[in-house]
Structure 1
Amino acid sequence: MSETTDKPRAHEVAAWLRQNPRFLQQFPDLALSLEVPRESGQAASLASYQLEVLREKNRELSRRLQELFANAQENERLAVRTHQLTLALMRQPSAGGVVRAMAASLAEDFAGDRVRIVLFQQVEGGEGAHWLRIVDADDARLVPFRDCLADGEPLCGRLHPDKHAFLYGEDAEQVQSTALLPLPGVGLVAVGSVDPNRFFPGMGTLFLRMMAEAFTTALSR
């Protein structure tokens, strides 16, 4: 009694591949696993295809490594600037000095086009600063900020018009994106940019939280 099998024979596989020459485009990993002689002739085309697949994978890996390297460099720069900001805030002898140092660093070191600081208590030495606003914690204009002040999480992107108008006033039309640092019980810090892509939803906020914590701690000293 003979046994039957559904296993295709070599010539059947070859015939099927001839009818489906684009099969390996759907399964490039299969092309990498095939062993092809290096002689000249038709077999050389498959070997070239394998080489091109490897080159494409190498290009993609190189691109990803470059992105990781660029991100690492940017994170290092941000870490240094955040550390320098923290030291500058801690060196200030007064709350007014802390507020001025924060505004100066955000404008210069972090290249903020528009910096706004909103505090719930008056600070000596901040009089006349166009970037500083003192309001009561129960001011009706703060209602749009109620949720973010409650959870303390930074917001990035294009703010709602009512938030935008309160923070920037006559400069509101120039600001296209914002990093907003809510300081529960203390106030708000906003860094505005004329670039709509400078701050965007979903971007990392670790350094923003660190800056907010350093500012709040320095003010409480």
Structure 2
Amino acid sequence: MIDDRAEKLSAHEVAVWLRRHPNFLGQFPDLALSLVVPKEDGKTASLSSYQLEILRDKNRDLTRRLNELGMNAQDNERLTQHLQTLSLALLRARLPADIVQTLAACLKEDFAGECVRIISFTAVPGMLGDWFSHIPAEDPRLQPFADCLANGEPICGRLNPEKLPVLFGDDRTHTQSIALIPVTDVGLIAVGSADPHRFYPGMGTLFLRWIGELFQTALIQSRR
């Protein structure tokens, strides 16, 4: 007896077969026109309309990403220009005090730093002001910064409370977010902001690291 029952295919098997034969609907255009695709709101749409909507969504996503890349490129170009300005200014400075003051001025003016604090491990003759401190590297007050100074990596975001008095004293106005730059054998640079979103964990620190290296090199050259 011949079994004439039609073989039944599961929906999964049909989907797998169609994925392996993407040109199938091109051979049967009437079938492509008759297919309907459910939408989130419960209504249905033709396959062509559904595909068009997917392409539009992808196009909007690509446009958004391109805009973000464009904005990032502009920000990086602006930062690079400011970094060049800082480099030239530090090259012109001759004395350690001039270098420290130049760095602080550039961070405030060119990099829009709301509050700048600099700690130097060695004394800098002629330096005055509440934004500058001379604290030897072995001073116990710097113990909270031991890990940061050891790895040399900048930190962005909110700092632990024990770090704040060393950097900002009793002023907490600009400590909602901070960029902290450890400078090997030199000291610490801190830029504070009243905006909690100005500096945040995970943001790029390449430019901050370069600023620290420029400051370190300029001071070494001035002391020779």
TM bucket (normalised to shorter chain) is 0.7 to 0.9
Once the 2 structures are TM-superposed, how far is the Cα of residue 181 of structure 1 from its aligned partner? 0.5
The corresponding residue for 2:187 is: 187
Q: Supply the distance in 1 between the matched residues of 2:151 and 2:79 (Cα, whole angstroms).
A: 24
What TM-score do you get using the length of structure 2 for normalisation? 0.80
Whether contact under 8 Å (1:158, 1:177) holds in the other structure is yes
Whether contact under 8 Å (1:97, 1:125) holds in the other structure is no
Report the 3-state secondary structure (helix = DSSP H, G, I; strand = E; otherwise coil) of the residue aligned with 2:46: helix
Cα distance 1:7–1:73, how it changes in 2: closer, same or farther (>3 A)?
A: farther
The corresponding residue for 2:136 is: 136
Q: Supply the distance in 1 between the matched residues of 2:166 and 2:80 (Cα, whole angstroms).
A: 30
CA RMSD of aligned residues (A): 3.1
Cα distance 1:34–1:217, how it changes in 2: closer, same or farther (>3 A)?
A: farther
The corresponding residue for 2:120 is: 119
Whether contact under 8 Å (1:114, 1:193) holds in the other structure is yes
Identity among equivalent positions (%) equals: 50
1:169-219 Cα distance to aligned partner (Å, 9 max, x none): 121244200110001211100000111111111111111111000000001
Letter of the 2:100 counterpart? V
Whether contact under 8 Å (2:173, 2:194) holds in the other structure is no
Report the 3-state secondary structure (helix = DSSP H, G, I; strand = E; otherwise coil) of the residue aligned with 1:198: coil
Cα distance 1:173–1:45, how it changes in 2: closer, same or farther (>3 A)?
A: same
Letter of the 2:216 counterpart? T
Cα distance 1:150–1:54, how it changes in 2: closer, same or farther (>3 A)?
A: same
Q: Supply the distance in 2 between the matched residues of 1:66 and 1:146 (Cα, whole angstroms).
A: 40
Gaps of 5+ in 1: 18-22, 24-29
1:17-73 Cα distance to aligned partner (Å, 9 max, x none): 9xxxxx9xxxxxx99995456x98877722111111111110011111111111111
Gaps of 5+ in 2: 16-20, 37-44
The aligned length equals: 203
Cα distance 1:189–1:32, how it changes in 2: closer, same or farther (>3 A)?
A: farther
The corresponding residue for 2:109 is: 108
The corresponding residue for 1:48 is: 49
1:75-117 Cα distance to aligned partner (Å, 9 max, x none): 1111111111111111101111000000001111111111000
